[in-house]
Amino acid sequence: MSEPIADFAVIGSTPLARLLAGRLAGSHGRSVLYMGESQSSYRLPRGLDLSVAPITRPESWAMLRQGIGETVKLIGRIAGRGAWSHVDPLFFAGDPATAEALGHMRHMALGFGIAAEPAAPTMPVAHRSGIVLRDALRLNRPIIEPALDQWLEREGVRRLAPEGVTIAEDGSAVLQAGGARFEARQAILADHDAILAHLPPAQWPVLLRRHPASCILTTPARPLPTPVMLEIQSGITLLQQNEGGIAAIGLQDMASFSGRIQLLLGRDRQVEQAGQTSFSALATSDGAPALGRVGTVGADVVAGMGMAGAFLAPALARWLCGEASPFEADWFGARLVSRAPHGPSVAEYAPHISGTAP
């Protein structure tokens, strides 16, 4: 039995993917199929959602500042006050070039009204410099994920757990679920796992690179200087969990990562591993987001949005429906996944980006 053809099939597990699906259906009246697992309550984290990010371009900061209010209001309505916590993330660096990038990030944050201070000399252990961004919001995935799933249902999003997904060159999708066939005019691969799993290799954009990535959870250790720390030259994120453990996430294979984490946390922390996982992640060759249709006609991808991507979901939904403001349209338009390597630069700070095409 065939179902009516939906406008979009959104595939992805992150809050960004869920918010995008819900907005497309609820605010823009599109019919939406959604496929994404709810894993944050039992799997190790592979990313975080933070209202600040190590970005250097003013238009990106402006987009983020616009998106925060709208997204927080939406999430508060969906999941309540426990959906986020206030944190003072610390970005730190160990070499001169990265320290310069930190300076640009700090002044950009100040320019957009975020209190950003140089870190006290003792804060980033064994590192030369750091900045603390005050009063950022960190979304609590285990709390908001089930609430977002209920919200999707209320918004009329049809949730599927398909046995098979086929994405055509024109970007349309066919999903087989429970013996039924579901079609959508346009597939949106809304996070890295979705892109890695479902984007046909023949359509792979040159901009995207696959990286080995790892997460290690430690047993409770001496608290970090702040609950969120990001070593920006390596991209390693350290998260102090509510129960005292430290989750470390980074774009390195497990063998390298484990040693690096021991060095970062220092010998004076009594650290044992309480969990570990390896996975694949994506990075763009210029460190900037990559959005829109692959090859200009294929599936939509959402890649390289970094830790602040969830806060851009409402704007992304508007852009995908052709209802974006001129500023939003310019920002997304400059960051198309099909952008020319030698076109106008939108590069962000992105050291050691290499990786391989799949």
Partner 1 sequence: MRPQLNRLDKDQAGNFSGSFIDRSRPLRFRLDGRLVSGFAGDSVLSAVMASGIDTLGTYRDVPIALGPSANPAIRLAGRADEPQHALPMARTPAIAGAEFVTCGIRRSNPLARLFLPGRTLGLELDEPHALDRPWRRLAGTPSASSDLVVIGGGVAGMEAALTAARAGLSVTLVEASAQLGGHSGLFGTQEGEDNPETDMARRRDAIAANDAITALTHSHAYAVRPGLVRIHRVEVKEGKPQGSVLDLPARHIVLATGALERLPIFAGNRLPGVIGTSDAHALASRYGVWPGEAAILATGSNVAYRLAILASDAGIAIGRILDSRPNPSSRFIAFSRAYGMVQTPGAAPRSAGLIKAGGTLSVHTDQAGTEPMLTGRLLVCGGWQPDLTLWHLAGGRSRWHGRHHRIEAEGGLDGIALAGSAAGYFTRRGCIESGQDAVNALLGRPRAPVQDPVIDPIHESPDAPATITEPPDDAAPAFLDSGREFLQRPSPPPRSWTSIFRRRPPRNGLVALSEAPQPLAIGDVAAGVDLGLIPPDAAGIVAQERVALVPLLPPTATIPPPEDEAVAEPVPSYLEGRFGGDAVLVRIVPAEPRRLETGALIYRNSDAANPLQAVGVVLRPDGDAALALMHRHISRAGLPVSVRDQGRAIAARIESPEN
Q: Which two tokens stand for residue 140?
A: 């609590």
Binding residue for partner 1, selected from 31, 85, 262, 280, defined by CB under 8 A: 262
By beta-carbon proximity to partner 1, the closer residue of 204 and 279 is 279
Q: Is 222 in the site for partner 1 (CB under 8 A)?
A: no
By beta-carbon proximity to partner 1, the closer residue of 270 and 296 is 270
Give residues 287-306 in contact with partner 1 (rule: CB under 8 A).
Answer: 287
The Cβ of residue 269 has, within 10 Å, a number of other Cβ atoms equal to: 16
Binding residue for partner 1, selected from 241, 321, 333, 338, defined by CB under 8 A: 241
Give residues 333-352 in contact with partner 1 (rule: CB under 8 A).
Answer: 344-352
SS3 211: strand
Binding residue for partner 1, selected from 76, 96, 156, 223, defined by CB under 8 A: 96
Give residues 106-165 in contact with partner 1 (rule: CB under 8 A).
Answer: 106-108, 110-112, 142-143, 147
Q: Is 44 in the site for partner 1 (CB under 8 A)?
A: yes
Q: Is 286 in the site for partner 1 (CB under 8 A)?
A: yes
- Helix, strand, coil shares of the chain as percentages rounded to 5? 30, 30, 40
Range in contact with partner 1 (rule: CB under 8 A) among 2-10, 66-74, 88-96, 190-198: 88-96
Q: Is 325 in the site for partner 1 (CB under 8 A)?
A: no
Written as one string, the DSSP assignment of 143-195 is HHHHHHHHHHHHTTPEE---SEEEE-TTS-EEEEETTEEEEEEEEEE-SHHHH
d(CA 322, CA 312) in angstroms, rounded, equals: 15
d(CA 132, CA 117) in angstroms, rounded, equals: 5
Range in contact with partner 1 (rule: CB under 8 A) among 105-113, 293-301, 307-315, 316-324: 105-113
How far is residue 62 from each of residues 65, 131, 290, 317, measured CA to CA in Å? 5, 20, 18, 17
Shortest approach of partner 1 to residue 272 CB, angstroms? 6
Q: Is 95 in the site for partner 1 (CB under 8 A)?
A: yes
